[in-house]
Structures are given as structure tokens and as C-alpha cells.
Amino acid sequence: EPEVTQTPSHQVTQMGQEVILRCVPISNHLYFYWYRQILGQKVEFLVSFYNNEISEKSEIFDDQFSVERPDGSNFTLKIRSTKLEDSAMYFCASPSLGHFSYNEQFFGPGTRLTVL
């Protein structure tokens, strides 16, 4: 299975602080996704990103969230002012065929975000 990596594995922050979660998707891919999973709940879609633009986002992905690909390889999710309810596991995903999205989505190991 192609590898998607994420850093950090665990991030602890104070409410109101900004956090940046990082993902290194499968190389040469154009499609990327962020999902989150609040403890004990189902995995929820946040945003999809294609060719350096957001292609779709959920209601969860409000103005406090942003995504970018600053250097052509890393893919970041920023939360500007964290809230307690942002505590969750955040997953980055990349499809098996980078230029076609309707295929297997491979997930990274996740970043556990804890907001105190």
C-alpha cells in the first residue's frame, strides 16, 4: 500500500492557539483529502484539494480552517484558533491513482490533536 505520512503524531495545544498539521501524500499525486474522527465517532470528511485548489469542503470546514501545499510536496491543514471541539484525530488521504480520484483512498496514520 502506498504510504502517506503525517506529522506530528500527537499535538497538544491551548484553546485559541493556531495549529498546523502536515501531510506528505503519495508523490506526484494531485488529489488530497483531510478527514477527522472525534474519539468514538465516525470519520468525517473535511476538504478535498485538487491541483492546488479546494474542490469540495464540508460544513465543518469553516473560516477557521485552511489548507495549502506550500512547497509542492507537503500538504497542510491549519486551524487558526482552536476550540475544545476540534480535539480529534485528523487524517490525510491520497488516492491510489493520483490523477484520478475515484479509486482507493489511502490514509495516513493520523495526527491526534488535543485542545486544552
Partner 1 sequence: SQQGEEDPQALSIQEGENATMNCSYKTSINNLQWYRQNSGRGLVHLILIRSNEREKHSGRLRVTLDTSKKSSSLLITASRAADTASYFCATDGRNTDKLIFGTGTRLQVFP
Task: State the residues that interact with partner 1 by CB under 8 A.
Answer: 1, 31, 33, 35, 42-45, 48, 56, 58, 89, 91, 93, 95, 101-110, 112
Judged by CB, which is closer to partner 1: 17, or 105? 105
Q: Is 71 or 102 the residue whose CB approaches partner 1 more closely? A: 102
Q: Are 32 and 48 in contact (CB under 8 A)?
A: yes
Strand-strand pairing, 10-13 and 111-115: parallel
- Closest approach of partner 1 to the CB of residue 16, in Å: 26
Q: Which amino acid is at 64?
A: Q
Instruction: Classify each residue of 88-114 as buried b or exposed e, where b means 16 or more C-beta atoms within 10 Å of its C-beta.
Output: bbbbbbbbeebeebeeebbebebbbbe
Q: Which is nearer to partner 1, 17 or 109 (CB)?
A: 109
**Cell numbers describing residue 24:** 506528505
Q: How far is the CB of 95 from partner 1 (least distance, A)?
A: 8
Rounded to a whole number of angstroms, the minimum distance from the CB of residue 26 to partner 1 is: 12
- Distance, in Å, from the CA atom of 2 to the CA atom of 4, rounded to the nearest integer, reads 7
Q: Which is nearer to partner 1, 51 or 71 (CB)?
A: 51
Least Cβ distance, residue 50 to partner 1 (angstroms): 9
